[in-house]
Every structure is written in structure tokens, then in C-alpha cells.
Amino acid sequence: MLNQTASTSTRVIPTAGAALTPTPASQATELPTIGFIGLGAMGSRMAVRLLSAGHSLSVWNRSAAAVQTLAAQGAQAQATPADAARGEDIVFSMVFDDAASREVWLHPQHGALAAMRPGAIAVECSTLSPAWIDELAARAAERGVRFVDAPVAGSRPQAQAGQLIFMAGGAAADVDALRPTLAALGGAVHHVGAAGAGARLKLVVNALFGIQVTAVAELLGFARSSGLDVDASLAALRSMPVMSPAAAGAAGLMLAGNDTPQAPIDLIHKDLGYAMDAAAAASGNAAALPLTAQAQQVFAAAAARGWGAENLVAVRKLYA
């Protein structure tokens, strides 16, 4: 547990709705202390940036190797999510799916939420289902823990460079309290509504991107099979408003054959499933997102070929 012993500065415990910046002792301002749960491709890069910004960081990950890498850079390694969260001002989670999130927050023996003190802020950055985020927000409120869902737009390069874009759902005061900390991680923080709004918008973002990637893969395959010069065709397309910057970037990776993981196929397949489930729950129509459903089928076909760990642009291989 971090900062639990007396020191030369005073650590102030914020109340609900209060700013997280502690009252300075002497003239020095103490940064919020942070627990970080989930040190995968995204979480590890985010944690390094928080360390570089000067935050005291307590970390947990399912695999010990990632924890030891962060510990070598100054973080405190913890044995459980509860240990990483106990006494900290802010606790971040960045994990794969609903099941992993439920495990780290609510496990009866080592869940982080039960270890958090009232007034601290729980921040879920993972791409998860709105139904689970709504439940988690309610459980946090029961304990007097402030909750913000803050999934991100951006992948590994943006996480490493501190250029993530946050879509934050929660009380405005809580989102504002987080902004100085999130500044070390990203270039923009959009407060998009109450708790759960961030999760919903993130699924919109990923569905829009997934649909574009599958369309580009299909149509570049068509261009090639039609005898077009694909490089020249892409250059022409990039000059037209019909092609978005995201689609152009994906097309460039496809032509280069660059499938290095950034947003793996398995991850986007999971996200599109969450989007369809959420849309069905909201509308009562199981076929509420037909284009998203078609895109998910493309990613499912790619995963069935053994490409699930590759970047989502590897769906191009279905049309080679």
C-alpha cells in the first residue's frame, strides 16, 4: 500500500465531488496516489506514463512478469487487486472483458472495490458492456466510491505517446477532478454524460471503425481482383472525402501487409458483440445493428482462420 506512513507532505482525503488535488503541506502540491489494475498492452503503457508524471503507483496484473517490469521502474507490486486499490486516491482498471473486470473489482476476497475508501475514484478504462458498467457504477455508489467509466480511443502507439482520447461518463465534478491525471495519458477528455455514457460511446466508435475496416478490406480485394493498380487506387481514394482518415490508415496497413497487433481481431470481435447486445437491450430488437453484425461475422471468420491475435486489418487476408 502506498503512502500509508507519515511523510513531509500531508495527504488529504477528498470527499465526494471534491477535487483530488491534495492541500499542499508547506508549498509543495502532492499528486494523487494511484492504483493500476491490468498491465496488458494498453495498461502497461498507461502505467509507465503515470510513473513518468511523478505519481505514486501501486500495480497488479494477472501475470507477474508485467508487474515486475513496472516495479523495476518504481511502481509498488501488489499481490491482489484489493492490495493495489487500498488507500489510493484513484484506481484504474484496463482489462480484456466483462468477466475480467468483474473479477478485479468485485471478487469477494480480493476485489478492488471493497478495498477502496469512500471518496476515492474508480476509473474503468476497459471496453466493456454498458450493462456491466451500469452495475459496477451502482456497486461503487453503494460504497461511497466515485465512479467514472473512461474508455479510450487510440491503441498502443497512442498509449505510449500519451495521446489517448478519453470518453468519460460520470459526474462532472468527478471527471473534472480526473483531468490533471488523465493529461499524462491523453490529449483530450470528453465528458459525454452520466456513468455508462463513456462505455456506450466507445462501442459506437469501435463499431464505426470495425465496419470501415471490413469495407476497406472487401473493396481493396475487389479492386485487386478487377485488375486495378491497388496502390494507385488508394492514392486516388485518399484524395476524396469518401475515405475517412481511419479508413485510409487501415488501407495503408493492409497494402503494407502490416498485421502487427494494435487492436487485435479477437478484441474487436468482442466489442462488436457488446455493441449488438446493448443495442438489442435498448431497442428490443435483436437485429438493431445489421451492419455491425455483418462486420462481426467478418472478424469471426478471420478469428476462425487463426488470426485472432493479429491486428484487425488482417481481415484483408479473407479477400486476398
Catalytic residues, which ones? 202
Give residues with Cβ within 8 angstroms of 159, minimum separation 6.
41, 42, 45, 46, 49, 152, 185
- Alpha-carbon 192 to chain mean position: 15
Cell numbers standing for residue 50: 503515470
Residues 6 or more apart whose CB falls under 8 angstroms from that of 232 comprise: none
| Residue whose entry in the numeric block shows the C-alpha cell 452495475 | 135
Angle ∠(197,201,204) on CA atoms, nearest 5: 150
In the chain, DSSP assigns E strands to 34-37, 57-60, 76-77, 90-93, 121-124, 146-149, 152-153, 164-169, 186-193
Query: Which one, of 148, 226, 134, lies nearest residue 189 by Cα?
Result: 148
Rounded-to-integer distance, Cα 249 and Cα 203, Å: 20
Kindly state the helix (H) or strand (E) to which residue 168 belongs, with its residue range: strand 164-169
